[in-house]
Amino acid sequence: MMTDLYQSQRAMRQMRRQAMQRGVVAILDVGSSKIACLVLRFDGTGRLSEDNTIGSMAGQTGFRVIGAATTRSRGVQFGEVTAMQETERAIRTALQAAQKMADIRVDHVIASFSGANPRSYGLDAQVDLEGQVVTEAEVGRVLNACDVPDYGAGREVLHAQPVNFALDNRSGLIDPRGQMGQSLAVDMHMLTVDATAIQNIVRCIKRCDLELAGIANSAYVSGVSALVEDEQELGAACIDMGGGTTSVSIFMKKHMIYADCVRMGGDHVTSDISMGLGIPASVAERIKTFNGGVHATGADDRDLIDIGGDTGDWEHDRRTVSRAELIGIMRPRVEEILEEVRVRLDAAGFEHMPSQQIVLTGGGSQIMGLDGLATRILGQRVRLGRPLRVHGLPQSATGPGFSSAVGLSLFAAHPQDEWWDFEIPVDTYAARPFKRAVRWFRDNW
Amino acid sequence: MRPLKATRAPVVHRPKPLSGPDADFASGARTGAEPKLRLRGVFNRKGDRFDPAPSRLSYRLQRWMLTPGIRRGLKIGLPILAVCAAVGIYFGAQERRDAVVAYVMDIKTSIQQRPEFMVNLMAIDGAGTNLSEDIREVVPLDFPISSWDLDVEQIRDTITGLNPVKSATVRVRPGGILQVDVVERQPVIVWRTRNGIELLDETGAHVKRISSRKDHANLPLIAGKGADGHVGEALALLTTARSLGGRVRGLVRIGERRWDLVLDRGQRIMLPTERPVRALERVLAVNEVQDLLERDVAVVDMRLGQRPTIRMTKAASEDWWNTKVNVSSEQ
């Protein structure tokens, strides 16, 4: 089964390489409340600015967004596909609009989704080197030596990233290749998700005549785009408050070391408002967006909101609610979400991290006063994060709700080395003799 | 209190109107996703209104139309195809085709008939009167004629094809004159055959047929079948035989392979096939020393270089016989 996964992930890498060659790839963020599609054009290697510094684009200039579209998501709950036809239609809508804007046909898609019960595992292994020098084959060997925990049937490995290498007594190596030593140890972060969720997404994308060139967890990719470089280096948690789920990812030394998701999000706040005030969900969403908040002040008692209605009953259609009441409905739910996030962070041992930075992003993070509330629940160092700026991204797609889409673009441009990027050693590969001979030739000549 | 209606569009506060991709995105998010052609009212109207989604067919069609090859085909291939089809249909009918051809020919003729292109007369240089007349006869042009219709190459070939003409240049001179410059062949030898007497030039080419040898008494004479093919050799022989002066009557080609030099008094020098000039020189050397040709010799046979042979005249041999008989009887 591991070999199976290895093969399918390698096939996706191959597809991604093809897409890079063609120069156009679509980014698809399948969320519970919206589906965002960006079309990227890759035009050569990234250039640095004139004075040879990294510059404001952080070197992410290798690609350009040439098409962007969003549509309301359908058939997705808690970040998982529940109605495949609906989801397929939504993907088609977003993709068609983005293609139209880009004026080019896109065949390869890199997708991200948030739900499907992500679970993190820390793996480690140590091997004695065959030679003196760490080669790519040695790295593959040590990665393969990690003993994979029994993550259960019906689960699939989504990410398996080496986060740390240690050579003899030296730890914290990012890239040990070419270095001398006796024994090589690796720490690997493995993220598993429900296999059915992946299969559903893959199937939806296949039904849209597209080739899947990569798949990522949105907790990871939103962390990639919302955390700035030093936060990723020193350690930070990214909390992506989406519609159906709130994803949590912890970064350290520029690697994700933990990811989890809380199955609550902005949609639950909306449904609370809808239920509490007896209004349709669309009106509740609008009221939440324009008037919502989590800190009630004295002025909010006098700020009345027309919640309307369409029944023909004069009294019913002229109901009003004060903003304080609205906040009173929203706040417990937001608190609950943040408490749940706190629990997940505690479970991950976030308090032992050297830096306790927390970054809130995602569409839900736009609730007014959320940072104040989060400070009280999660800790002092909380900020609101917006995605990194990338070339050609329309102004309207730079909000925090697009951090996972933008992160996925960065992921597409500069994917992190994963386990399957290294060759499995021959003895476990169960290769045919001929292939082994070819390998021998390639290794020795 | 803030009035709020369910149908109110969200107000977006912008400091300035969006432009470029932002404008596209802002407008595209609202309307761009809607298909241009929608079968409204036929299939679930309500669902369409809330969640616009392209049908599978329109999605595929749009993707198809965004494919670079198809786009190029439609942008370039289709117009070309349309033009080809239109032209093809127009020229499908014979009368329209003829009309177009006639129209084009009309224009062509009107241009060609302009006075700038007309040729009015033919000037022939380097040819005698007879030859000029011959040339005018073989090149029947009725002037004025357009220079477009003149095939100068072909006229030159025709003129060069005439026997007395060695080479010719033909060109249209400014002023509407067809200039023909002719170099005539110069006769160097007379060739007598059974059919008559002809003049040949140094290459053996036929120049002219003449009625009498007397008209060209200054030219040497050759005879025999195939002699015209070896005029150069004949001239070399005659040059060698210059010392014989007026005694030389001519050269006869024997069996299409070798020469006989015929002198007066019926004398004949039979020359070999190979290197006849050398053989003749030998005879002339002997003649110089021993006056061979002054004697009663009928034939000097040089055909075998190893063994030159002399045949005496009949009278001389009889004389010789008589002398021998007298001498023997006296003894």
Q: Which residue of A has its CA nearest to B10?
A: A286
pLDDT band at A345 (very low <50, low <70, confident <90, very high): very high
**ipTM score assigned to the predicted complex:** 0.74
Determine the residue of chain A that is closest to B3 in CA distance: A306
Residue B312 bridge partners (DSSP) = B297
Contact A109, A411 (CB under 8 A): no
pLDDT of A177 higher than 90: no
Conformation bin of residue A301: beta by default, left when phi > 0, alpha when psi is -120 to 50: alpha
B52 lies within 8 A of chain A by CB: yes
In the structure encoding, which two tokens stand for residue A126, read together?
């140590």
Contact A394 B21 (CB under 8 A): yes
Task: Identify the pLDDT of residue A61.
Answer: 57
For the stretch A311-339, pLDDT in tens is: 888 888 888 888 999 999 999 999 999 99
Answer yes or no: is pLDDT of A407 > 70: yes
β-strand partners of A97: none
- At residue B88 the predicted structure's pLDDT band, cuts being 50, 70 and 90, is very high
Query: Over the stretch A285-309, which tens digit does the pLDDT of each residue have?
Result: 988 988 888 988 888 888 888 887 7
Q: What is the pTM of this model?
A: 0.64
Per-residue model confidence (pLDDT) at position B44:
46
Residue A137 pLDDT greater than 50, yes or no: yes
Taking CB atoms and an 8 Å limit, are A396 and B26 in contact across chains?
yes
Mean pLDDT value across residues A337-365: 91
Q: What are B122-175's pLDDT values in tens digits?
A: 888 887 788 888 888 888 888 788 888 888 888 888 888 888 888 888 888 888
By the CB < 8 Å criterion, does A283 face chain B?
yes
CATH 3.40.640.10 fits A119-193, yes or no: no
- The answer to whether the CB atoms of A394 and B24 lie below 8 A apart is yes
Q: CB-based contact (8 Å) between A234 and chain B? A: no
B299/B276 Cα distance (integer angstroms): 16
Can you tell me the distance from the alpha carbon of A272 to that of B107, in angstroms, rounded to the nearest whole number? 88
- Chain B nearest-CA residue for A209: B60
- Give the residue-averaged pLDDT of A162-180: 86
Q: Which of B306, B298, B307 is nearest to B265 (CA)?
A: B298
Q: Which chain A residues are Cβ-neighbours of B30 within 8 angstroms?
A: none
pLDDT at residue A404, rounded to an integer: 92
- CB-based contact (8 Å) between A206 and chain B? no
Mean pLDDT, chain A, as a whole number?
Answer: 85
Burial class (CB in 10 A: 0-12, 13-18, 19+), B169: middle
Give the model's pLDDT for residue B39. Answer: 47
Average the pLDDT over each of A87-101, A286-300, B29-43 and give the range with the smallest value. B29-43
Tell me what pLDDT residue A283 has.
87
Kindly report, residue by residue over B167-186, the tens digit of the pLDDT.
888 888 888 888 888 888 88
For B211-266, how does the pLDDT look when each residue is reduced to its tens digit (9 = 90+)?
888 888 888 888 888 888 888 888 888 888 888 888 888 889 988 888 888 888 88
Spatial distance between the Cα atoms of B242 and B265, rounded to a whole number of angstroms: 17
| Predicted pLDDT of residue A59 | 47
Residue B64, pLDDT > 90, answer no
CA distance B2 to chain A (A): 6
Please determine, for residue A273, whether its predicted confidence score (pLDDT) is greater than 50.
yes
Distance CA B117, CA B109 (A): 11
3-state secondary structure chain B: CECCCCCCCCCCCCCCCCCCHHHHHHHHHHHHCCCCCCCCCCCCHHHHHHCCCCCHHHHHHHHHHHCHHHHHHHHHHHHHHHHHHHHHHHCCCHHHHHHHHHHHHHHHHHHHCCHHHEECEEEEECCCHHHHHHHHHHCCCCCCEECCCCCHHHHHHHHHCCCCEEEEEEEEECCCEEEEEEEECCCCEEEECCCCEEEECCCCCEEEEECCHHHHCCCCEEECCCHHHHHHHHHHHHHHHHHHHHHEEEEEEECCCEEEEEECCCCEEECCCCCHHHHHHHHHHHHHHHCHHHCCEEEEECCCCCCCEEEECHHHHHHHHHHHHHHHHHC
Residues of A in contact with B69 (CB under 8 A): none
Q: Using CB atoms, pick whichever of B2, B25, B33 lies closest to residue A394.
A: B25
Residues 234-253 of B with CB under 8 A from A: none
Mean local confidence (pLDDT), B110-120: 85
User: Terminal CA-to-CA distance of chain B, rounded, Å?
Assistant: 183
Whether chain B has a CB inside 8 Å of the CB on A368: the answer is no
| Contact (CB<8Å) A396/B28 | no
Instruction: Number of A to B CB contacts under 8 A, please give it.
Output: 102
Q: What is the mean pLDDT of residues A180-208?
A: 89
Is the pLDDT at B48 greater than 50? The verdict is: no
Instruction: Find the CB nearest B29 among A70, A105, A208.
Output: A70
What is the C-alpha R_g of chain B? 49
Nearest to A93 among B5, B24, B53 (CB): B53
The pLDDT value given to residue A45? 53
Q: Which residues of B touch A90 (CB under 8 A)?
A: 51, 53
pLDDT of residue B105: 94
Question: Per-residue pLDDT for B34 more than 90?
Answer: no
Q: Which of A128-132, A263-267, A414-418 has the highest mean pLDDT?
A: A263-267
pLDDT attached to residue B29: 52
Q: Name the average pLDDT for chain B.
A: 81
Is some CB atom of chain B closer than 8 A to the CB atom of A13? Answer: no
Paired residues of B169 in beta bridges: B181
A105/B1 touch (CB, cutoff 8 Å), yes or no: no
Task: Look at phi and psi of residue A364 and say left if phi exceeds 0, alpha if psi is from -120 to 50, else beta.
Answer: alpha
* Cβ atoms B188, B219 nearer than 8 A: yes
Contacts of A209 in chain B (CB under 8 A): 60, 63
Nearest CA in chain A to B7: A283
Q: Judge: B2–A304 Cβ closer than 8 Å, yes or no.
A: yes
Whether B66 and A103 lie within 8 Å, measured CB to CB: yes
> Residue A254, Cα to own-chain centre: how many angstroms?
15
Q: Which of B14, B25, B66 has the highest number of chain A CBs within 10 A, making it the mutation to test binding with A?
A: B25
Q: What is the pLDDT of residue A432?
A: 60
Q: Which of A443, A414, A406 is nearest to A426 (CA)?
A: A443
Nearest to A69 among B18, B29, B59 (CB): B29
Q: Which of A238-242, A381-385, A387-391 has the lowest mean pLDDT?
A: A387-391
Shortest CA distance from A87: residue in chain B: B53
Tokens describing residue A5:
């996964």
Least confident of A95-104, A196-205, A304-313, B283-292: A304-313
Predicted local distance difference test score (pLDDT) of residue A241: 92
In this structure, chain B runs to a length of 331
Give the highest mean pLDDT range of A234-243, B11-20, B281-290. A234-243
pLDDT at residue B7 in the model: 46
Ordered by where they begin, the domains of chain B are 44-106 (no CATH), 115-184 (3.10.20.310), 189-330 (3.40.50.11690)
Nearest Cβ partner of A394 from B22, B53, B56? Answer: B22
Tell me if A99 and B62 make a contact (CB, 8 A cut-off). Answer: yes
Q: Specify the pLDDT at position B86.
A: 95
| pLDDT value of residue B42 | 46
Check CB contact under 8 Å for A100 and B28. yes
Distance of CA B314 to the CA centre of its chain: 60
- What is the pLDDT at residue A111? 92
Residues of B in contact with A72 (CB under 8 A): 51
Is the pLDDT confidence value at A440 over 90? no
Strand, helix or coil at A170?
A: strand
The pLDDT of A271-281, averaged and rounded, is: 92
Give percent above pLDDT 70 in chain B: 85
